[in-house]
Chains A and B, each alone.
Chain A
């Protein structure tokens, strides 16, 4: 238990569906992140939120839409995805960005797009 909780753990969706991934951290951290992990590829950073403000969008297609209503919660809204978007989506948090502290990861949400 890392203190970062992701739901759902598994999601199957059609290309025309709209769904959301949720992440909650109980560590009192101020920075939260979304990463994508595809088979046989290194982890890819998608979005960065620091004190609820999005500070980075790593050239992610607009069919992925993040939302950070407060420092403890982070969402990833999904719509009109493609089969190649099937992957493990990992949420992570750290005390803040500037301190360069250890990042704590959630257990991930397995997404399959059919």
Chain B
């Protein structure tokens, strides 16, 4: 059974710092991996999606990498801002099943201090 782990559960950094969030998964057989952002009391917003054949994806100050063989992904945030404060969730989609079969981690709660 696929399990997704995100460490640390919480992270606090000063504004301007570059940071890395970690995600690991137990079964390397995945279709894709997604990073989501969740603001307090709100829904999830998709940030980046990496197909299993890709190594990384970039969007603005965000860069996500995927190492399928080791079961790891990282989300790199450059020049962090207070507006980046949120919970970041990693999810993997298994090879079989529909779009909804995402397996989520518990998330990393990021606080960027002004």
Q: Do A and B come from one complex?
A: yes
Which of A's residues lie within 8 Å of B, judged by CB?
Answer: 2, 4, 6, 31, 33, 40-43, 45, 48, 50, 55-56, 88, 90, 92, 94-108, 110
Assuming A43-B102, A48-B98, what are 19 further A-B pairs, CB within 8 angstroms?
Answer: A6-B43, A31-B99, A31-B100, A42-B103, A42-B104, A42-B105, A42-B106, A43-B104, A56-B100, A92-B100, A95-B99, A96-B99, A99-B99, A100-B31, A100-B98, A102-B34, A102-B99, A108-B43, A110-B41
Interface size on B, residues (CB 8 A): 25
Contacting chain A: which of B11-19, B44-52, B55-63, B70-78?
A: B44-52
Nearest neighbor of B32 in chain A, beta-carbon distance? A100
B92 CB to nearest chain A CB (Å): 11
Cβ–Cβ < 8 Å partners of A108 in chain B: 41-43
Chain B residues with a Cβ under 8 A of chain A = 4, 31-32, 34, 36, 41-46, 49, 89, 91, 93, 97-106
